[in-house]
Chain A
């Protein structure tokens, strides 16, 4: 099993550009989520999904869109990148929120100039 696969590992964007961070898991997990991690702020929840076709907002959803058309994939879209979105992004999955562990991808380091 590959676990949770995130791509790309690194990305540099200019302000205003859009992009999609990919996340895929092969563990048949129903719950998937996206976090961003900034120095001094810890991990903050952006969006989450409890199953295919179901998504909802977390703590910091503005500027991001998600969709969940399949159980395996949960892409995160930056609509119009801003320097404030410079961060490390982690995708995570588990059978359910109450069923640990939450498996994380390796992270995407995004810089917006």
Chain B
């Protein structure tokens, strides 16, 4: 089983739609969780951290279910500018180090159409 698995996509949605991405992680020792956004041919950038109680940032809501080892990202009222690849990222101790390393999912591509 891969460390971090995501819906492969692509998701093609109209402007204004609500879209949800899911992600599962395999290492129960993981402590930190994030969503990154990557635009075409650009570097990844942090979208938001994911907290145990769930958190919201404007139109974006992230949820964490530690029991099921599951993370989600909900985007409401999609904008054209939301078109990008969304990367689920988990801090895992798999490669050693006292604080682990960030392991990236393969990403889910979102295209928002007019």
Residues of chain A having any CB pair with chain B under 8 Å: 33, 35, 40-45, 48, 50, 56-59, 90, 96-98, 100-102, 104-107
Contacts and interface: CB of A to CB of B under 8 A. Distances in A.
Given A41-B106, A56-B95, A98-B91, A90 B101 contact: no
A58 B95 contact: yes
Q: How many B residues touch the partner, as a band? A: 20 to 34
A97 B97 contact: yes
Given A42-B106, A45-B102, A101-B46, 5 more contacts: A48-B95, A98-B99, A102-B44, A105-B43, A107-B42
B46 A97 contact: no
Interface in B15-68: 31-32, 34, 36, 42-46, 49
Contacts of A33: 101-102
A54 B100 CA distance: 14
24 contacts: A35-B104, A41-B106, A42-B106, A48-B95, A48-B97, A56-B96, A57-B95, A90-B43, A97-B32, A97-B99, A98-B31, A98-B32, A98-B99, A98-B100, A100-B46, A101-B34, A101-B46, A102-B44, A102-B46, A104-B43, A104-B44, A104-B45, A105-B43, A106-B42
